[in-house]
Structure 1
Amino acid sequence: MKQLLILGCGWLGEELARRYQSKGWQVWATTTQEEKYHRLKSDGIFAYIHNFDEEGTLDLPLEVRFDAVITSVPASQKNESEVLEARFSRIFQSLCSIAYDQHYFLSSVGVYPDLDADFDELYPDETAMNPKLRLAEKKMLSLPATSVFRLGGLFGKQRIFAKYFQGKVVSSGDQPANFVHLDDVLGMLEGSIARHIPSGLYNVVCPEHPSKKEVILKSAEKYMFEYPSSFEPQASFQKRVSGKKLTDLLDYTFKYPSPLDF
């Protein structure tokens, strides 16, 4: 039986866990939430309550070799660098103690600077990139067989962009949307695990980049949310992130090529 380990089983992780469980894989997962712990266990997932911000050993089974590990613990901007360093050092130590074939760390396209530019994985200016996200990425990339997936803004199911702007003034409407749908992230993770893609950096983002204003208006109309009170553009940088590298590698066809389709 194949084995999947998910560190930080959040919204995406839980969807992934159930998808692989349906394939007949044995799934292991950590969460910080007691309610989710009981829900995962009741569904036959080997669950642990574990917080990587706290001291303590994660007692993963040393006799199991995991076919794939997904680390979905965030490098939050609200945390100090010292907190993030400790968090990812503990994750690093946990992964050093087990055997696995592939490891994927879920990062964000927010690592790229907010500039008028098109970005891909070869972007060279380390000093311009988000230091907290890069701290986490570098720590994870120091592990063997690791790929970093830089996700676009993640939407799908009940996570709808227009929901967050009802009756509000929108200042970012002129910016391009570097988004991706949950189903496409799951599809590209599945394809990557199945093909054992080479380790490295990969952007995971829709090929189309309509303006955020267009996405808000379209999703508000589709899901019957209140429109924003107004659009007052500020900081209208034209930042577009390309996910072509991974799409081409997997020969992947997006279910939702544009955020207007979400």
Structure 2
Amino acid sequence: MTKISILGCGWLGLPLAKALIGTGFSIKGSTTSIEKLPILEFAGIEPFLISLHANEIEGNIVPFLENSEILIIDIPLKLRGNSNDPSATHRAEFVGKIRTLIPYIENSSIENVLFISSTSVYGEANTIITEETTPNPDTESGKQLFQAEQLLQNNRDFKTTIVRFGGLIGEDRHPIRFLSGRDNIDNPEAPINFIHQDDCIGIIQKIIETNCWGETFNAVSPFHPSRETYYTQKAIGLNLALPKFSHAKPSVGKTILSDKVETVLKYKFTRTTL
């Protein structure tokens, strides 16, 4: 039985772990919350309390990686509150975590790494984006994600596949709840680039199933209506106050294509209407 270690059993990592267990994998999962350990154990996950820092790792990282063939890294950046801090410590915190983690991966049984990244690495380009597009991050989170991607993919001791997800949505997570009733929202004609939690899990499962390592994938639903059209319809559907958009400035926004997911992985999106 193939063993997989999932570093970060949060909003995506926990249901992913459950799905992988359902298809016959043995899963080790980490959390930074001691209260969550019994939740992981109840789900059939071997639980570990692990916290990454720029200069150290708290918790039993060696047994967490031991005997696993695949490591899935799905940890949040948590840059809020630090974005205006000019210190190099805060600017490189996430990159430091990955740099600290890598020697443990090198000295473990891990052969393949799947790193959960974001389309924020492309910046706010006003164009069509594919995996051939050179990343040009213009936010701190995007810059750190791209540096982390490079650290992992340039390492020759294991193969790394990068999955750049668009905006994450699910039954309990949708941006309309934040935008509902707001006025003067910019970029009404910009396209949306979202992906449902179900498809996030499906794509990761397909990568593992097909042993597609050493690749980079954009993962965004092939459904790109304008922000104004989409959010208005979603607000009506959920009986929420309508958001109001401003057309004072020209709309700017990229369209993320995920053709490679469909052509290379042969994956069919299940939640295209979002």
Q: TM-score, normalised by structure 2?
A: 0.85
Give a deviation string over 1:28-54, Cα, whole Å, max 9, x none.
111112222221123331111211026
- Superposed displacement of residue 125, structure 1: 5.9
Indicate if the aligned counterparts of 1:174 and 1:213 stay in contact, CA closer than 8 A.
Answer: yes
Between the two proteins, the alignment pairs up a number of residues equal to: 258
Give a deviation string over 1:87-136, Cα, whole Å, max 9, x none.
11122233223212321100000110212111111123658784222112
CA distance in 2, matches of 1:109, 1:58: 31
**Is 1:153 aligned to 2:163, yes or no?**
no
What percent identity do the matched residue pairs reach?
Answer: 25
**AA partner of residue 142 (structure 1):** N
Q: Which residue is equivalent to 2:235?
A: 220
Structure 1 residues 256, 42: CA separation in 2 closer, same or farther (over 3 Å shift)? closer
Indicate if the aligned counterparts of 2:198 and 2:270 stay in contact, CA closer than 8 A.
Answer: yes
Q: Which residue is equivalent to 1:118?
A: 128
Structure 1 residues 140, 167: CA separation in 2 closer, same or farther (over 3 Å shift)? same
Give a deviation string over 1:136-172, Cα, whole Å, max 9, x none.
2112223421011000101111112311112212224
CA distance in 1, matches of 2:14, 2:94: 23
- Superposed displacement of residue 77, structure 1: 4.6
Q: TM-score, normalised by structure 1?
A: 0.89
CA distance in 2, matches of 1:252, 1:232: 37
Indicate if the aligned counterparts of 1:75 and 1:136 stay in contact, CA closer than 8 A.
Answer: no
- Superposed displacement of residue 248, structure 1: 0.7
- Superposed displacement of residue 222, structure 1: 2.0
**AA partner of residue 204 (structure 2):** L
2:153 to 141, 147, 163: 141
Q: Which residue is equivalent to 2:44?
A: 44
RMSD: 2.2
**AA partner of residue 131 (structure 2):** E
Q: Which runs of 5+ in 1 are unaligned?
A: none
**AA partner of residue 96 (structure 1):** E
Match of 1:250, SS? coil
CA distance in 2, matches of 1:185, 1:114: 22
Q: Which residue is equivalent to 1:103?
A: 113
**AA partner of residue 67 (structure 2):** R
